[in-house]
Chain A
Amino acid sequence: MAEQMSDDEGQQSPPSDLDFTSNKARTCIVTGSVSGHTEFQSPYPDQVLENVLENVLHFLTSRRDRNTASLVCKSWYRVEALTRSELFIGNCYAVSPARATARFTRVRALHLKGRPRFADFNLMPHGWGAHFNPWVLAFAKACPWLEKVYLKRMSVTDDDLATLAESFLGFKELVLFCCDGFGTSGLANFVSKCRQLKVLDLIESEVSDDETDWILCFPEGESHLESLIFDCVECPINFEALERLVARSPSLKKLRLNRYVSIGQLYRLMVQAPQLTHLGTGSFSPSEIAGQGDQEPDYVTSFAACKSLVCLSGFREIIPDYLPAIYPICANLTSLNFSYANITAEQLKPIISNCHKLQVFWVLDSICDEGLQAVAATCKELRELRVFPVDAREDSDGPVSEVGFQAISEGCRKLQSILYFCQRMTNAAVIAMSRNCPDLVVFRLCIMGRHRPDHVTGEPMDDGFGAIVMNCKKLTRLAVSGLLTDKAFDYIGRYGKLVRTLSVAFAGDSDMALKYVLEGCPQLQKLEIRDSPFGDAALCSGLHHYYNMRFLWMSSCRLTHQGCQQIAHAMPRLVVEVIRSADEEEMDVCDQTLYMYRSLEGPRNDAPKFVTIL
């Protein structure tokens, strides 16, 4: 069984003869072109080649290119492993820390992903896994020159943060996206010890409030901070300490505040840091409850002074009266995130009509179709649009619909990525978008009511999604919704040749739908399905492909235990997990979740009780 190299993971069974590389050869490679080594011996002819190769491969940055290069021959494999400085592991259970550190010894940056995405929506019980701990320990021993860690959906404890800070001198960047397991005391310890810290980004992570003043723990003296993002931290911070920190961080470019920072405090920070390029405005409302005793500062001036500001977010508790303060910078903005700002179309229009350069726009559907029309009229450079619902329930009123959707497609022809929550949609609008926006790479449409058809024709949404996969030739990520029959999946299988990520919920009629996709989409890497009528037969139709995928998630479908067992038997390098809801012992498999992924390591040893590995 040939194990194909994945696009995303730099792993491969290391050849068993790796050790044959003599020490001499190693030494020569390590020293590279530095000559004058006292133990220099006449190099093997390969050595020269390897030295050259090493110098050349240093320039290769794309991990996919590197994966390919490492397959050429053993020598290339070795050299590539030595020169890889950024290690990306798309599923932390696909390869063990030991194996990773054994192969890649000089890694500077580690990028790890843990839980599957559906875990974000409460579909997976707490405590499933994805612990950073074994990784940090392994790297602390083997790669002490690690400088950057980027984690997505992993559990990080305060101890792990301590290990990071203590074991890696010169640690520079920590980005935690959708992580949990740590608190402000862990943060305090971390920042106090990382004297070289440049980047601390906490994004959409859960940070427990240990009532520790972590901002105060940043070391005194000039700080190297370039990016400080903590808008997800749901506890108050010491503002005076923050103000001092910003004042002594001349390199600070990105600052995203949490909602406990009032607009008055924001003003004071902006005055200290007019060089900011990315700003998260915090609450964007005043903290004083009684009317203003003091004069309101001139917010407009503070924004006007930030001439480099290109990315604006925050507005967590916005008082729309203050919105005009941002007028001065609208013309420069390339990214605007209003996804916490419950504003109307009227409030949006004066802002958006100046945002000619806008490329990324996140907003709430409170702006209605009318607001979207205003966006379409001005933002001709728009690449990414996300419209979130104010009222995320299935049958709330839908302020946005196919009208706004179509307007966007007509106005923003360069659109590459869209995430759109709505209550109703038509095939016609989706087809229009497929024609107007051929550059679409990411298409995620969420019609919030389950099984909703085209609300004008009453037909399933098959044709709309079909048009998307047919006309958008660059499409790699697709999320479907609404009433869908097997036909939609037939289209996806036939035309979605580049699709790598597919999200399916409450869709399809029969096993055929899943078969179409598994048989038709050669690039499929990540498949997440919930509440759709796909059974064991469909599952078996993908056996030829599962080793090429990062994972498959199926919850509340029609699988049986036997079906999952069959897969597990047929594919030894696949870890097949059946996840129960944490507090129920006896459940029909229908209600359980299948999560399976390829792995070099076999079943993991940290699985909790509610996970059964077949």
Chain B
Amino acid sequence: MVTDKMVDYPQFLNLMNKEWLVNHKVSEDKKLELRLGPPGEALDYNRNTTHGTKRAFQHTAETRTGEKEWPVDTTKNQCQKISCIEKIGDKVNLPPTPWSSGSTIYSAFSKDTKEEPQHSKASFFQNLPVSKKLAGMAEDFKQPCSPRMAVGEVQFADGKACCSLATADPDASTNITSNKRIEYSPVVGWPPIRSFRKNIASNSLSKPASESSNDKDTGGKPENPKTQLFVKINMEGIPIGRKVNLSAYNSYEELSLAIDDLFSGLLAAQRDPSATQNESKAKESAKAEAGPLAGSGEYTLIYEDDEGDRILVGDVPWNMFVSTAKRLHVLKSSELSTLQICSNEKEKAPFDPAVHI
């Protein structure tokens, strides 16, 4: 089944580790080895990265101030005192299981052929209350990856691909809590990198994060170059496009928020024409529904460069993007398979609309 899905998105096969593919099929029959879940809890698992490194995870607890903001309501449903230590061996994964919305989801692990010395560590973590967190990747992209689309989820490292494959289920955006697969929950302050050193991959240098929520105040916008770069932007399914001034923004994040704003009203009108009586209410409900568009996973942002090629937004440094983008398209993620997509060199730069730690 997963294989079928993979066929549907052939272009992403290139991005996958071939080895993973093989192993995936092989390990489909393997049992899940679960750790330390309280009885009766549904546990989910994750697949590994493309490097067969062994590792163990620890789930941790509370959301502290300054931690990334999850686009998901993490306080409901959980606070399970589960701790799972996941160790992922060279082999990977297991077929996805649909999640029930009430379940707490923790990483499980694939059975590893090598020994697992971490067992003894499990007890230490049991005391820590755990709340559900999104996988770091999904969090970066603010796009939920439904377990049904586990295929896309595999490329943890290749974030863009992952997010593009996010669920076609329109309800997924609202059902985010349960549909998120959790690979591990990122811990505050780990790895120990100061905030201004992060975000280098996308080169969208966000301001140094302060622990308070004042980060809007600091490091504001740089002065904009004199030129105004209006480019057309079309959203799939909406006949009327907009124009957006690229030079008014300084990062992918700002751009995606702006695009949100641009289309939310139009989207609402389209979804529920009867609700347009109260315009502002429609806008609000549209916003609520669509999440932040960038985060819902339903849509993917593509641009056309000066050679006419369509490229996924987020690969290159912001400045370079602005200088080469001629048009923008917002496409439904499920429709991507029908497009000719050429992705850039395998950059590790994630699409970056989200807040970073």
Chain A residues in the interface with B (C-beta under 8 A): 118, 120-127, 180, 204, 206-209, 211, 232, 234-236, 259-260, 285, 287-290, 316-317, 319, 339-340, 342, 364, 388-399, 421, 423-424, 446, 448-453, 455, 458-460, 483, 505-506, 509, 530-531, 533, 556, 558, 581-584, 587-588, 590-591
By a CB distance below 8 angstroms, the chain A residues around B55 are 395, 449-452
Q: CB-CB < 8 A to A459: which residues of B?
A: 117
A-B contact pairs, 5 of them (CB 8 A): A125-B64, A125-B211, A342-B203, A450-B55, A556-B60
Across the interface, do B49 and A397 meet the contact criterion of CB distance under 8 Å?
yes
- In the complex, what distance in Å separates the CA atom of A211 from the CA atom of B56? 47
Complex Cα distance, B170 from A239, in Å, reads 50
Contacts of B136 in A (CB 8 A): 393-395
Chain A residues, CB < 8 A from B85: 451
Q: How far is the CB of B237 from chain A (nearest CB, A)?
A: 31
Selected contact of B117 from candidates A121, A388, A453, A558, CB within 8 Å: A453
Residue of chain B at shortest CB distance from A122? B66
In the bound complex, do residue B208 and residue A290 qualify as a contact, i.e. CB atoms below 8 Å apart? no
**Residues in chain B within 8 A of chain A (CB atoms):** 49-51, 53-58, 60-62, 64-67, 85, 114-115, 117-118, 120-121, 124, 127-128, 136-137, 156-157, 183-184, 186-198, 200-201, 203, 205, 207-212, 217-220, 222-223, 225, 227, 229, 247, 317, 319-320, 322-323, 348, 350, 357
A489 CB → nearest B CB, Å:
15
A450 and B190 contacting across the interface, CB-CB below 8 Å? yes
Which of chain A's residues have a CB closer than 8 A to the CB of B157? 395-397
How far apart sit A398 and B227, CA to CA, in the bound complex (Å)? 39
Grouping DSSP codes into helix (H, G, I), strand (E, B) and loop, the B interface class, with mixed when no group exceeds half, is loop
Our pick among B54, B67, B184 for the contact of A394 (Cβ within 8 Å) is B184
Provide the residues of chain A in CB contact with B121, threshold 8 Å. 451, 509
Among all A-B residue pairs, the 9 with the closest Cβ atoms: A234-B219, A121-B189, A126-B211, A122-B66, A451-B56, A449-B55, A397-B157, A236-B223, A392-B193
Q: Is the CB of B211 within 8 A of A450?
A: no
How many angstroms between the C-alpha atoms of A44 and B282 in the bound complex? 92
- A57 to B206 alpha-carbon distance, docked (Å): 49
Is the beta-carbon distance between A591 and B227 smaller than 8 angstroms? no
Residues on the B chain within 8 Å of A211, using CB: 220
Pick the contact of B189: A397, A399, A509, A530 (CB < 8 A).
A530
Task: With A260-B223, A397-B51, A451-B118 as known contacts, state yes or no: A483 contacts B62, CB within 8 Å.
Answer: no
- The residues of B that contact A207 with a CB separation of less than 8 Å are 218
Other A-B pairs beyond A125-B211, A398-B51, 17, CB < 8 Å: A125-B64, A126-B66, A207-B218, A209-B218, A211-B220, A236-B223, A289-B323, A317-B205, A364-B200, A390-B201, A392-B197, A398-B53, A450-B55, A452-B54, A458-B114, A509-B120, A588-B127
Contact in complex: A424, B51 (CB < 8 Å): yes
User: Once the chains bind, are B128 and A289 in contact (CB under 8 Å)?
Assistant: no
In the assembled complex, the CB of B332 is this many whole angstroms from the nearest CB of chain A, namely 28
Given known A232-B208, A287-B225, A452-B54, contact A446–B191 (CB-CB < 8 A): yes
Cα–Cα, bound, A125→B124 (Å): 25
Given known contacts A236-B223, A289-B322, A397-B348, is B210 in contact with A590 (CB within 8 Å)? no
CB-defined contacts of B210 to chain A, threshold 8 Å: 126, 180, 206
User: Given A126-B212, A260-B222, A506-B58: A423 and B53 within 8 A (CB)?
Assistant: yes
Contact between B191 and A394 (Cβ–Cβ < 8 Å)? yes
CA distance A319 to B203 in the complex (A): 11
Q: Does the CB pair B127–A339 fall under 8 Å?
A: no
Q: How far is the CA of A219 from the CA of B227 in the complex (A)?
A: 33
Q: Which residues of A lie under 8 Å from residue B53 when comparing CB positions?
A: 398, 423-424, 449, 452, 455
- Flag if A390 contacts B200 (CB, 8 Å): yes
Whole-angstrom distance between the Cβ of B140 and the nearest chain A Cβ: 8
CA–CA, A451 to B193, complex, Å?
18
| Inter-chain contact B117/A122, CB cutoff 8 Å | no
Whole-angstrom CA separation of A353 from B193 in the bound complex = 28
Whether B348 contacts A208 by the Cβ 8 Å rule is no
- Closest beta carbon of chain B to A479's beta carbon, Å: 8
Please name all residues of chain B whose beta carbon is closer than 8 Å to the beta carbon of A455 when the two chains form the complex.
53-54
Is B218 in contact with A122, judged by CB distance below 8 angstroms? no
Bound state CA distance, A61 and B227, in angstroms? 56
Complex Cα spacing A236 to B221, Å: 8
CA distance A456 to B342 in the complex (A): 36
| Complex contact B118–A122 (CB within 8 A) | no
Residue pair A124, B211 in contact (C-beta under 8 Å): yes
A122 vs B114: C-alpha distance in the bound complex, in angstroms? 36
Q: How many Å lie between the Cα of A584 and that of B211 in the bound state?
A: 15
Scoring A393, A455, A587, A591 by chain B CB atoms within 10 A of each residue's CB, the highest score goes to A393
Take A446-B191, A458-B115 as given contacts and tell me if A122 and B209 are in contact as well, using a CB distance cutoff of 8 Å: yes
Residue among A319, A364, A453, A584 making CB contact with B62, cutoff 8 Å: A584
B212 touches A123 (CB 8 A): no
Residues of A within 8 A of B50 (CB): 397
With A234-B219, A287-B225 in contact, do A581 and B186 touch (Cβ < 8 Å)?
Answer: no
> Bound state CA distance, A118 and B299, in angstroms?
38
* Bound-complex Cα distance A336 to B173 (A): 46
How far apart are B117's CB and chain A's nearest CB, in angstroms? 7
Are B56 and A450 touching (Cβ within 8 A)?
A: yes
Q: Contact at A123–B189, with CB atoms within 8 Å?
A: yes
Residues of A within 8 A of B120 (CB): 509
A209 near B189 (CB under 8 angstroms)? no
Q: Which residue of A lies closest to B136 (CB)?
A: A393
Question: Given A392-B198, A394-B190, A451-B121, are A235 and B222 also a contact pair (CB < 8 Å)?
Answer: yes
Q: How far is the CB of B18 from chain A (nearest CB, A)?
A: 15
A453 and B115 CA atoms in complex are apart in Å by 11
Contact A235 B56 (CB under 8 A): no
Judging by beta carbons under 8 Å apart, are B65 and A389 in contact?
no
The interface residues of chain A lying within 8 Å CB-to-CB of B128 are: 556, 590-591
Known contacts A394-B186, A394-B191: A450-B117 contact under CB 8 Å: no
Q: Which of B183, B187, B323 sits near A290, CB closer than 8 Å?
A: B323
Residues of A within 8 A of B350 (CB): 391
Q: What A residues does B219 contact at CB under 8 A?
A: 209, 234-235
**Chain B residues whose CB sits within 8 angstroms of the CB of A451 once the complex forms:** 55-58, 85, 118, 121
Contact B357 A290 (CB under 8 A): no
Is there contact, CB below 8 Å, between B319 and A289? yes
Of chain B, the residue at the smallest CB distance from A291 is B323
Known: A121-B188, A390-B201. A206 touches B208 (CB 8 A): yes
How far apart are the CA atoms of A395 and B92 in the complex, in Å? 14
Shortest A466–chain B CB gap in Å is 17
Q: Which residues does chain B contribute within 8 Å of A582, judged by CB atoms?
A: 65, 211
**Distance of A459 from chain B, by nearest CB (Å):** 8
